[in-house]
Amino acid sequence: MNRVGVVNRAVNIPDIGDAENVEVIEICVAAGDEVAENDALIVIESDKASMEVPAPFAGTVSKVHVALSDHVNAGDLILHLDAAAEVAETAPAPPTVVADDEPEQAEAQAPSAAEQPAPQTQAGAPSSRVYAGPAVRRLARELGVDLAAVAGSGSGGRVVKEDVKAFVKQTLATPARASLAPVQEVDFARFGTIEIKPLTRIRVRGAAALRSSWQHVVHVTQHDEADVTDLEEFRASLRDEAAQQGAKLTPLPFLIKACVHVLRAHPQFNASLDAGVTALIHKRYYHIGMAVDTEVGLVVPVVRDADRKGLFELAAETARLAAAAREKKLTPNDLQGGSFTISSLGAIGGTGFTPIVNAPEVAILGVARLATKPKWDGSTFQARKMLPLSLSYDHRAINGAEAGRFVADLVATLSDIRRLVL
C-alpha cells in the first residue's frame, strides 16, 4: 500500500566489478536539483574506463556527499534524494557489496602461519594451493604474478591485494631491474615555454598495463594482406537491409565473425597461459575485445558470445559499445572477460603496425587501412581491395608455424566469406 509523502533515501555507488578506489571526475547534480530515473549523478573513472552513475529513481537532491577527486568504492554514499514515498518503498535496495578478498570456499583449509614457506622458497609451489580470494587471483593473473611467491599478510596467511601490489613494487625495485637506466629528468622550461597536462587515469593505468605486457609477453608479429574485394561488395549489398534493422554494417562485424571462425580451428589463440607458464588455459567462449579510441584514452570493451551473434547483431553491439565508451557509459561487465582482441585503425591510415598483446590474452589482431592494389590473376593485373593484417602473439604460447597457419586461414576466410558456413 503506497503512502503519500516524501522519503529521504540514500544513493550509493553500485556494483563496479573488481574496480577499487575509483575517482570521481564529474559531479552532475547539486542540492536542490530534480532528477529523473537514470539521470547521471556523477561520473567515475576506474583504471579501465569512465562511467556514469545513474539515479535509481526520481527525486530531488537533498545533499551531495562526494566531491571532485574523491576516491570511492562500491557501496559508498553518493548523495541523498527526496523521493515520493511510493517510489522510495519500491525502489531497489543498494546492491550488496561482497568483499573481493573473501577466501575461496575450497576443500583445503587455510594453511597456518607455520605452514607458510618463506617467499623465496614458495616460487615452486602451485599457486592453486595459495590461500587467496578470487579477486586476488584475478589481479595476480593480470599483473603476471605467481601467487606462490607472495607472502600473505591476511588472517591465517591469506594473500590480499595489497600483498600482490607490494610484491610488484618490490620486484620492480630489485637490483635485477636496476640495470635499466632510469629515465632522466629534463627541465624543458630551460628551452622555452611549456605546458604540463596531466594524463588521465585511464592513460596512466593503460601505460602501466602496456609496459607490463611488453615486459612479460614474448612478442612476435606476423603480417599479411587479405583480398576483401568480394567481402566489400557483399557488405555494400547488405547496407540497406542493415539500415532497416537500425544497424550500420562496418567491416568490424565481418572481422569478428572471421576471427571466431579461425579461433575455433586454432584454439590455442583463444587461451591464456597459467601464472607458472606450465599450462595453456583454453577458453570455450568467444568474447572479442575491440579497441576504442576515446578522448580520455584507449578503452577495450568486449563483445560477449560473439560466436552466437549474426552480422547485424554484431553491428548493433559494436556500435553500442563504441558509443558507450565515448560517452563514459560502459559497465564493468562490458570491460571484462575478453579472450581475443581486435585493434582496427580503420580509415585512420597505415599499412601495418605491431599491436601489443592484451595480456592475459595470447594474441591480438591489428587491422590497418584498406587499399586498392594491383593483383596478378595469372594472366593480367586486377584492381583488388587489400586489407593489411598484423597478428601479434605471445611466443611462449604460440610458435611461428602456428601463427603462420592462423593468419593464412584468416586471410582465406576474409577473401572468401563462404568459408564461414563450412
Q: Would the pLDDT of 63 be above 60?
A: yes
298 within 8 A of 210, measured Cβ to Cβ: no
> Pairing state of beta strands 371-376 and 363-367?
unpaired
pLDDT digits (tens, 9 = 90+) for 175-213: 554 456 677 889 999 999 999 998 888 888 888 888 889
Task: Give me the architecture of the 131-170 domain, per CATH.
Answer: Irregular (4.10)
Q: Would the pLDDT of 299 be above 60?
A: yes
The pLDDT of 365-390, averaged and rounded, is 95
Band the pLDDT of 155: cuts 50, 70, 90: low
The residue that leads in pLDDT, 163 or 136, is 163
For 184, residues 6+ apart whose C-beta sits below 8 A from its C-beta are: none
pLDDT digits (tens, 9 = 90+) for 231-259: 999 999 999 999 998 889 999 999 999 99
pLDDT at 46 (0 to 100): 78
What average pLDDT is seen over the chain?
84
Q: Sign of dihedral through CA atoms 214, 216, 220, 225? A: negative
pLDDT at 162 (0 to 100): 86
pLDDT at 137 (0 to 100): 75
pLDDT digits (tens, 9 = 90+) for 162-181: 888 888 877 776 655 445 66
The residue that leads in pLDDT, 416 or 247, is 416
Angle between helices 134-143 and 161-172 (to 10 degrees): 20
Active site residue ranges: 395
Can you tell me the distance from the alpha carbon of 168 to that of 165, in angstroms, rounded to the nearest whole number? 5
Q: Where are the domains of the chain?
A: 6-90, 131-170, 220-421
253 within 8 A of 234, measured Cβ to Cβ: no
The pLDDT of 103-107, averaged and rounded, is 36
Band the pLDDT of 100: cuts 50, 70, 90: very low
Q: Would the pLDDT of 98 be above 60?
A: no
Q: Would the pLDDT of 311 be above 50?
A: yes
Q: Would the pLDDT of 149 be above 90?
A: no
pLDDT at 127 (0 to 100): 46
Name the fold adopted by 220-421: Chloramphenicol Acetyltransferase (3.30.559)
Q: What angle do CA 380, 383, 385 make, to 5 degrees?
A: 140
Band the pLDDT of 401: cuts 50, 70, 90: very high
393 within 8 A of 401, measured Cβ to Cβ: no
The pLDDT of 50-69, averaged and rounded, is 90
Q: What angle do CA 35, 49, 159 make, to 5 degrees?
A: 115
The pLDDT of 209-222, averaged and rounded, is 92
Q: Would the pLDDT of 312 be above 90?
A: yes
Domain 6-90 has CATH 2.40.50.100: yes
pLDDT digits (tens, 9 = 90+) for 369-378: 999 999 998 8
* Window from 67-71, 152-156, 395-399 with minimum mean pLDDT: 152-156
pLDDT at 179 (0 to 100): 53
* Window from 39-53, 295-309, 338-352 with minimum mean pLDDT: 39-53
- Kindly tell me the burial class for residue 174, based on how many C-beta atoms sit within 10 Å of its own C-beta (0-12, 13-18, 19 or more): exposed
For 422, residues 6+ apart whose C-beta sits below 8 A from its C-beta are: none
pLDDT at 113 (0 to 100): 35
Q: Would the pLDDT of 90 be above 60?
A: no
**Cell digits of residue 49:** 574506463
Band the pLDDT of 114: cuts 50, 70, 90: very low
Can you tell me the distance from the alpha carbon of 234 to that of 299, in angstroms, rounded to the nearest whole number? 30
209 SS3 class: helix
**Cell digits of residue 269:** 589463440
